[in-house]
Homo-oligomer: A and B are copies of this chain.
Amino acid sequence: MFIQHFEEIITLTNGIKLISITDSVEKFVKSSKIKNGVLNLSILHTSASLIIQENADPDVQKDLINFYDKLAPMNNSLYIHITEGNDDMPAHIKSSLTNTNLTLSVKNFKLQLGNWQGIFLFEHRLESQKRTVFLHLLGEL
Protein backbone atom coordinates (compact mmCIF):
# COMPACT_ATOMS: atom_id res chain seq x y z
CA MET A 1 0.00 0.00 0.00
CA PHE A 2 1.33 3.38 -1.01
CA ILE A 3 1.20 6.17 1.52
CA GLN A 4 2.70 9.63 2.01
CA HIS A 5 4.36 11.31 4.98
CA PHE A 6 5.38 14.90 5.48
CA GLU A 7 7.61 16.65 7.98
CA GLU A 8 9.48 19.89 8.42
CA ILE A 9 12.99 20.23 9.77
CA ILE A 10 13.47 23.65 11.33
CA THR A 11 17.09 24.82 11.71
CA LEU A 12 18.34 27.97 13.37
CA THR A 13 21.50 29.05 11.60
CA ASN A 14 24.23 31.47 12.65
CA GLY A 15 26.36 32.46 9.71
CA ILE A 16 27.66 30.89 6.54
CA LYS A 17 27.97 27.20 7.23
CA LEU A 18 27.10 23.68 6.10
CA ILE A 19 24.83 22.00 8.63
CA SER A 20 24.29 18.26 8.41
CA ILE A 21 20.62 17.22 8.41
CA THR A 22 21.35 13.57 7.55
CA ASP A 23 20.36 12.26 10.99
CA SER A 24 17.05 14.14 11.03
CA VAL A 25 16.22 12.94 7.54
CA GLU A 26 17.07 9.32 8.36
CA LYS A 27 15.01 9.51 11.57
CA PHE A 28 12.02 10.70 9.53
CA VAL A 29 12.46 7.85 7.05
CA LYS A 30 12.64 5.32 9.87
CA SER A 31 9.60 6.67 11.69
CA SER A 32 7.53 6.54 8.49
CA LYS A 33 7.74 2.72 8.34
CA ILE A 34 7.94 3.04 4.55
CA LYS A 35 9.98 0.21 3.02
CA ASN A 36 10.48 1.52 -0.51
CA GLY A 37 9.80 5.03 -1.75
CA VAL A 38 10.84 8.41 -3.02
CA LEU A 39 11.93 11.14 -0.60
CA ASN A 40 11.74 14.75 -1.74
CA LEU A 41 13.42 17.57 0.19
CA SER A 42 12.58 21.23 -0.44
CA ILE A 43 14.25 24.17 1.25
CA LEU A 44 11.66 26.96 1.32
CA HIS A 45 14.18 29.81 0.93
CA THR A 46 16.23 31.48 -1.81
CA SER A 47 19.32 32.40 0.23
CA ALA A 48 20.07 28.97 1.68
CA SER A 49 20.26 25.69 -0.19
CA LEU A 50 20.73 21.92 -0.01
CA ILE A 51 23.74 19.87 -1.05
CA ILE A 52 24.93 16.31 -0.72
CA GLN A 53 28.63 16.32 0.14
CA GLU A 54 31.39 14.50 1.92
CA ASN A 55 30.54 13.77 5.54
CA ALA A 56 34.08 12.92 6.70
CA ASP A 57 36.66 15.74 6.59
CA PRO A 58 35.21 19.10 7.78
CA ASP A 59 37.91 20.85 5.71
CA VAL A 60 35.87 19.96 2.62
CA GLN A 61 33.10 22.17 4.01
CA LYS A 62 35.54 25.04 4.61
CA ASP A 63 36.86 24.75 1.07
CA LEU A 64 33.34 24.71 -0.35
CA ILE A 65 32.47 27.86 1.62
CA ASN A 66 35.66 29.57 0.42
CA PHE A 67 35.07 28.54 -3.16
CA TYR A 68 31.52 29.92 -3.27
CA ASP A 69 32.56 33.10 -1.45
CA LYS A 70 35.22 33.79 -4.06
CA LEU A 71 32.87 32.94 -6.91
CA ALA A 72 30.10 35.26 -5.68
CA PRO A 73 31.88 37.81 -3.48
CA MET A 74 30.11 39.97 -0.89
CA ASN A 75 30.89 43.17 -2.76
CA ASN A 76 28.00 45.56 -3.38
CA SER A 77 29.73 47.13 -6.39
CA LEU A 78 29.07 43.88 -8.31
CA TYR A 79 25.30 43.84 -7.86
CA ILE A 80 22.16 45.92 -8.39
CA HIS A 81 20.14 44.19 -5.64
CA ILE A 82 21.95 45.55 -2.57
CA THR A 83 19.15 46.75 -0.26
CA GLU A 84 19.11 43.56 1.82
CA GLY A 85 22.81 43.56 2.72
CA ASN A 86 26.01 42.70 0.88
CA ASP A 87 25.54 38.99 1.63
CA ASP A 88 22.06 38.74 0.10
CA MET A 89 22.73 38.73 -3.64
CA PRO A 90 25.72 36.38 -3.23
CA ALA A 91 23.34 34.15 -1.23
CA HIS A 92 20.84 34.05 -4.11
CA ILE A 93 23.64 33.20 -6.55
CA LYS A 94 25.04 30.43 -4.35
CA SER A 95 21.53 29.05 -3.93
CA SER A 96 21.08 28.98 -7.73
CA LEU A 97 24.39 27.11 -8.14
CA THR A 98 23.49 24.40 -5.63
CA ASN A 99 20.01 22.92 -4.93
CA THR A 100 16.61 23.98 -3.65
CA ASN A 101 15.33 20.41 -3.97
CA LEU A 102 16.87 16.98 -3.58
CA THR A 103 15.13 13.71 -4.41
CA LEU A 104 16.47 10.54 -2.83
CA SER A 105 15.43 6.90 -2.87
CA VAL A 106 14.51 4.60 0.00
CA LYS A 107 15.01 0.87 -0.51
CA ASN A 108 14.50 -1.77 2.18
CA PHE A 109 13.92 0.99 4.79
CA LYS A 110 17.32 2.51 3.94
CA LEU A 111 17.98 5.93 2.46
CA GLN A 112 20.22 5.40 -0.58
CA LEU A 113 23.30 7.47 0.21
CA GLY A 114 26.90 6.56 -0.47
CA ASN A 115 29.22 5.84 2.47
CA TRP A 116 30.75 9.30 2.27
CA GLN A 117 27.60 11.24 1.48
CA GLY A 118 25.82 13.51 3.92
CA ILE A 119 22.85 15.84 3.35
CA PHE A 120 23.61 19.44 4.28
CA LEU A 121 21.71 22.67 4.62
CA PHE A 122 24.03 25.31 3.16
CA GLU A 123 23.38 28.66 4.86
CA HIS A 124 24.50 31.61 2.74
CA ARG A 125 23.47 34.55 4.99
CA LEU A 126 25.64 36.10 7.72
CA GLU A 127 22.89 36.79 10.24
CA SER A 128 20.99 34.15 12.13
CA GLN A 129 18.06 32.68 10.16
CA LYS A 130 15.26 30.22 10.80
CA ARG A 131 15.27 27.75 7.91
CA THR A 132 12.61 25.22 6.96
CA VAL A 133 13.35 22.05 5.01
CA PHE A 134 10.17 20.30 3.89
CA LEU A 135 10.37 16.49 3.76
CA HIS A 136 7.99 14.38 1.72
CA LEU A 137 8.15 10.61 1.53
CA LEU A 138 5.91 8.70 -0.88
CA GLY A 139 6.19 4.94 -0.81
CA GLU A 140 5.06 1.48 0.22
CA LEU A 141 4.89 -0.02 3.70
Contacts and interface: CB of A to CB of B under 8 A. Distances in A.
A80 interface: yes
Interface size band for A: 35 or more
A116 B81 CA distance: 15
Contacts of A62: 80-81
A85 to B, nearest CB: 13
A105 B2 CA distance: 16
Contact of A92 (B42, B53, B89, B103): B53
For this chain, the copies found in one complex come to: 3
Interface stretch (A9-17, A23-31, A130-138): A130-138
Given A53-B92, A92-B60, A46 B117 contact: yes
Interface in A91-141: 92-93, 95-105, 107, 112-117, 132, 134, 136, 138-140
Nearest first, the 5 A-B pairs at minimum CB distance are A44-B114, A105-B136, A59-B81, A59-B80, A52-B100
Interface of A: 2, 4, 6, 36-38, 40, 42-46, 51-54, 57, 59-60, 62-64, 66-67, 71-72, 79-81, 83, 89, 92-93, 95-105, 107, 112-117, 132, 134, 136, 138-140
